[in-house]
Chain A
Amino acid sequence: MTPFSGLLFFYAMGILLLPAIVLGLMGKPLRHYGLMFTFVMLIFIFSENGQLVSLTVFYLWETVLCYMYLRVGKKSRITLILVVTLSLLPLAAVKLGEIFATLRMFRLLGVSYMTFRGVQVLLDIHDGKLKELRLPDLSYFLLFFPSVASGPIDRYQRFATDLERKLSRDEYMEMLRRGVWKLLFGAFSAIVASGTIHSLWLSPLPDHGFLATLSYMYGYTFYLFFNFAGYSSMAVGTAYILGISLPENFRMPFLSVDMKDFWSRWHISLSAWLRDYLYTRFVRGSLKAKRFKNPRTASYLGYILNMTVMGIWHGLTPPYILYGVYHSLLMCLNEALDLHWKPFRKMKQKGWTHVAAVIVTFHLFSFGLLIFSGRLFS
């Protein structure tokens, strides 16, 4: 069983959300029940898919690392690299297991999302932004059930602020209304819309041929959008019902005028995470240390690093890595056009050139998804 899929799942989740709704409507805090809800749902899902032991090991590993790093006196760059590497080990084990059968003993649904939550806590501890951790809050954040399988990737301090917030009955009513709407919209998008595209468009297509591949590229783009945006919407909706305002993950991505704009609209929580914790750190460090004669070199290399890691985050197989490299090249091209071709900025803003920019960006992304789908490798 996977989250947000199948009648049994929705039946169980619906029953378990009822006490949260009652508590919310009574103006009572939801954090304790929300934590219990998360644990019950995780046990329900992970005992059924046989990954409960892996989840327990992962949780203990990340929690111990966070507490150990909190207690380290002098936090040097070396200790940070060490602790982040250790935090990434479960993710590496799962991704390597997808390639090498002998390493397939450790499997864990949602490990990519949960690991980035753990790494973010470690980075904030290193920066001195987190001086203390509450075990229930950290556990709730690391394992927060609604976003465990497909995001969005939240930030610890934002999440903890929501836990502290006291919601009045009226405020909760509004969150509940939005939550239910998002759940219904997400279910329609992920199950009905993407399911229809898959069965009526993608499945009947032949495996080979230029036109079939072209049709597959468009179909797969819409399929993945409705599927992913739908699951994200259901996660955000469920979180609202638990009194947590998860960040939105999509903002009309197919209206983007270039690839930079696109990555501020598609899988926003992942691209913002990588921008804030990878690109920015790399560029800031490079500028301060004057690593490059031309400061923009740091930006180009930052984009290559950022997007390649994004590809690897999805998996270590060639389609994912190539997808990351492809987007790193597109981002560099985007940067070069912004810098060296003055009309580019104005062209994107209005008129038919704006429409052309939207169409070109859509096709560039669609081709990226064709790489991502693995069809070109089969």
Chain B
Amino acid sequence: MEQQVIAILNDIVGAEEGELEADMDLFEAGLLDSFGVVQLFVELEKKFGVVLAVEDISRENIATPALIAQRIKQAL
């Protein structure tokens, strides 16, 4: 799951293979912003059928690829 999330994030933030790590804080690194979060949620909905609402999730809960993967598992 984490690898799938990283693959989606690679496309969104334009990162290269191996640049993103599971425990990397995407907001602190300046890789994810408001638009990136919306893009990520749209892609997660397409890929996993999981509908996540921005207003229900604080940034701390989706700060790293590992936390995003955890969130998807909870929603599935």
Contacts and interface: CB of A to CB of B under 8 A. Distances in A.
Nearest to B33: A260
B55 A277 contact: yes
A129 B54 CA distance: 13
A275 to B, nearest CB: 6
A283 B56 CA distance: 17
Interface stretch (B1-9, B18-26, B36-44, B68-76): B36-44
A263 B39 CA distance: 20
Main SS of chain A's interface residues?
A: helix
Contacts of A279: 34
Interface in B44-63: 53-56
Majority secondary structure of chain B interface residues (helix, strand, loop or mixed): helix
Interface in A216-263: 260
A280 B54 CA distance: 7
The listed residue with most B CB atoms (<10 A of its CB), out of A155, A276, A298, A345, is A276
Contacts of B56: 129
Contact of B34 (A129, A155, A280, A349): A280
A280 B38 contact: yes
A180 to B, nearest CB: 27
A284 B35 CA distance: 9
Contacts of A260: 33-34
A283 B35 contact: yes
Interface of A: 127, 129, 155, 260, 275-277, 279-280, 283-284, 287-288, 295-296, 298-299, 302, 335, 338, 345, 348-349
Given A279-B34, A284-B38, A296-B35, 19 more contacts: A129-B56, A155-B55, A260-B33, A280-B37, A280-B38, A280-B55, A283-B35, A283-B38, A284-B41, A287-B38, A287-B42, A298-B35, A299-B34, A299-B35, A338-B30, A338-B33, A345-B30, A348-B30, A349-B30
